[in-house]
Amino acid sequence: MSELSEVPPVAGEPGAVEAAAGSTSRTGTASLSVLPAPGTFEDPAEALRVQVAQLVVAHPGVLRMEPTLLGALHSLRQGGSLDGIQLDVHGRVVDLDVNVSTRASHQARASVIELHRMLRELVAAHGFVPGSVEISVLAVEETG
């Protein structure tokens, strides 16, 4: 399994790696290396949005994405999706706002710290400069 830092820097390059959701690295933390197939996305920001969602939901501490009313209104105005991710591009700088529900069996704080690092690496791997990366835990739930 490839580590996130080994992801090619440009989405859509030949040699795309299939999603490996649920895999863990040697440290027992989630790692995800995904790139859409060549020609799948013409917009690099949209390719990044898809990979952000895949990375977040593949993390073992995350139960699901949590869309908010404010995020939904913002997405509707900009024609985005209602998935709990707000991605704003300012030149080469990307600001991320991600809303999640976490699993009670994992420490929410540790999950957020790890996700923050992974998201900054993912943004950089796409050739963007990471700006603000905000992760909000809207719920902590027991899972069966």
User: What residues have CB less than 8 Å from 114, skipping those under 6 apart?
Assistant: 29, 30, 59, 61
Closest by Cα among 130, 73, 51, 59 to 101: 59
For 22-59, what is each residue's pLDDT tens digit? Answer: 333 333 444 444 444 445 557 898 899 999 999 999 99
CATH tag for 4-141 (out of 3.30.930.10, 3.30.70.1350, 3.40.228.10, 3.40.50.920):
3.30.70.1350
Domain parsing of the chain, residue ranges: 4-141
For 79-131, what is each residue's pLDDT tens digit? Answer: 666 588 989 999 999 999 999 999 999 999 999 999 999 999 999 999 999 99
Report pLDDT for 69.
Answer: 79
State the Cα–Cα distance between residues 101 and 120, nearest whole angstrom.
Answer: 20
Q: pTM of the predicted model, to two decimals?
A: 0.68
**Highest mean pLDDT, choosing among 59-73, 82-96, 126-140:** 126-140
